[in-house]
Structure 1
C-alpha cells in the first residue's frame, strides 16, 4: 500500500478512536478479532485480523491510542473532567482539534509499532509496548506538564499515611473489585485457566493454531462492552492473553497458562500504581502487564530452558500465590480490626 495512503488511514483510525472513545474502539477490536478468528477457522484467506482488528481500523496501537491521547488533551483544554475518561465519545465535545490529536497519535502509534516490530517483533507483544509508549507520551504532553517526574503522578498525604503508593490499604487503586491479592489470584485462576484450556485446544488443530493465543483476549476485550453500561465486570484481557502466551511457550501446559495469568494480574496492578492511578491520564494497566508478561514467556522462558513437560514448578508457583493471597488477606483483616475506633460506652442514667 502507498505510504501516504497508509498514513492517512492510520490518522483516520486514531481519529475514529477519539470520536467514539478509547474504550468503545477497544471493544470493537475484540468483536472484529473474534469475527476474524471465525473467518480464519473456516479457511478464509483474507487477513481480516491483521487488516482490521489489529490494523488501521481498530488496532489498539492506532485507534485506542488515539482515544487515550485525545481524552488527555480534552482534559488539558478543559473539555473533560478527567483525562482518564476513555468512555466518552469525544466528538460530542464539538471540538475537532481534540479529534485531530487522536488522529495524529494514531499515525504516530502506527509508526512506533512498525519500528519496534522491525527489530523486536518476535521478542514481545509490540502492540502492548506501543500502547504504553504512546500513553506515556500523551501523559508527558498533556498531564505531566512536560515533567518526567510528573509521569508518576502525585501521591496524596492520605495515601502516604496509609502506607504509600503500593500499600494494600491505600484508596488509590486501579480496579476496586480486583484490589486484594486474593481477588487478583482468584480472577487470574478462573479467567486464565479457561483461556489456557481453549488455547491448548486450538493449538492442537492446524486450522486454528495460528490464532490460538487470541481467543481469550478477544472474549475479554469484547466483554468490556458491559463497562459502557456501568456494569462492573473484571478486566481480564491482560490475564487471558498472557495466559495464552504462556501455554504456547510451554508447549500446551495449562498450569503454566495459569501462572502467566497470575503474573499478568499482579504486574498490571503494580504498574497501574506507578503510572496510572495517581495521575490524570490513562496509562493502560493491561497493556503494561501484556508488554512484560509477553516478554517473559516469548523471550525469557525459552532462554531459561524451562520445560513445559513437567507440572511441578507451575503448580508450586500457583500454590505459593494462593498461600500469599490468604496470608495477606488475614493480615489485612487484622489491620482493619486494629484501625477500628472502639465505640464510647453508653452512659447509664
Structure 2
C-alpha cells in the first residue's frame, strides 16, 4: 500500500466535497482524455493512474467523497436534497461536510485496495468502490433504506417505459456502434495493443466530460458507462459488433439500476458505476480473463 497515496486520498475526498461530486467527476474525464490521448500517441502517461483514477480525482475517492458529503449535509439540514451531486458544497461553509468527504475519500482508497490487492477482483475497481461507498453513505446518513419506498398508491417502475425505453436502446446502439467500429478502424491501421488498450479510457473520458451539459442544466444523460463498456467489449473480444451489443445492454441496465436504487431515496448510488463494474465482470468472464486477476 502506497502511504502517500493513502494520505492524499483524504485531500481527494475533500476536493470532491467542496467541488461537488459531479464537477469533480467531469474533471476526471478531462484528465482521462488527456492521458489516453498521450498513450495512444505513443507517449508515457502517468496521469490516468495517479490523477484521473488515483487519489486526486479518482471516482472512488473524489466523486464518492462528494456523494457522501452531500448525504451528510442533507441529514444535518444543510442541503435540501441528499441526492444533489451537482452543488459545490463549499458554499455551505460547513467544515464537517468537507471532513466527511475526506473520510470517505480514505474509505474509498482502502476499499479499492482490498478489492484489488487482497481479493484480486478482475473488474473495474473504482466503479465497484463507488457503489460500496455509496451504499455505506446511504445506510449511515440516509433514512430511506437501501432501495427506498414508493409512496402509497404508487407502483415502483424498474425500467423507463414507452418512448423513453426506445430512446435508451437507441442511445446504447449509437454509442456502442460508434465505440465498437472506431475500435475496428483503429485496429485495421495496425495500432498496437497499448493504443487499443487506452481507447476505452478515451471513450470514457469523452462521455464523462459531456456531463458538463448536465451540470449546466441541459437534458444530457450520463453515458460514460455505455461508452466505456462498449469500447471495452469491442477491444477485449476483438469484435466491433460486441460494442453495439454491450452498448445497448449497458444502457438498459443503467436505467434499471437508476430506477431501482435512486427512486424514492435520499442519497445517490451511481447507476453508471454499478453498470461498469457488473459488465466488466461479464466481459472478463466471456472473453477469457476471468473474475480474478493474477
TM-score for the superposition, normalised by structure 2: 0.91
Would you say the 8 A contact 1:199–1:215 is kept in 2?
no
Instruction: Indicate the residue corresponding to 2:274 in structure 1.
Output: 288
TM-aligned CA deviation for residue 44 of structure 1? 2.6
TM-aligned CA deviation for residue 248 of structure 1? 2.0
Please, which of 173, 180, 189 is the counterpart of residue 196 of structure 1? 180
Q: Which structure has the higher relative contact order (CA within 8 Å, separation 6+)?
A: 2
Written as runs of structure 1 = structure 2, the 5 A alignment for 1:99-178 is: 99-119=98-118, 121=120, 123-144=122-143, 150-160=145-155, 164-166=156-158, 168=160
Q: Distance in 2 between matches of 1:53 and 1:232?
A: 25
Within the alignment, does 1:249 sit opposite 2:227 as a pair?
no
Q: 1:287 to 1:9 in 2, by over 3 A?
A: same
Please, which of 256, 264, 280 is the counterpart of residue 278 of structure 1? 264
Would you say the 8 A contact 2:135–2:146 is kept in 1?
yes
Please, which of 187, 204, 223 is the counterpart of residue 236 of structure 1? 223
Unaligned runs of 5+ residues in structure 2 are none
Written as runs of structure 1 = structure 2, the 5 A alignment for 1:70-109 is: 70-109=69-108
TM-aligned CA deviation for residue 120 of structure 1? 5.3
Q: Aligned pair count?
A: 287
Q: Distance in 2 between matches of 1:220 and 1:234?
A: 10
Within the alignment, does 1:269 sit opposite 2:255 as a pair?
yes
Larger radius of gyration: 1
Q: 1:142 to 1:51 in 2, by over 3 A?
A: same
TM-score for the superposition, normalised by structure 1: 0.77
TM-aligned CA deviation for residue 223 of structure 1? 0.5
Note the aligned Cα RMSD (angstroms). Answer: 2.1
SS in 2 for 1:279: coil
Instruction: Between 17-26 and 43-52, report the one with greater CA deviation.
Output: 43-52
TM-aligned CA deviation for residue 199 of structure 1? 3.0
Would you say the 8 A contact 2:262–2:269 is kept in 1?
yes
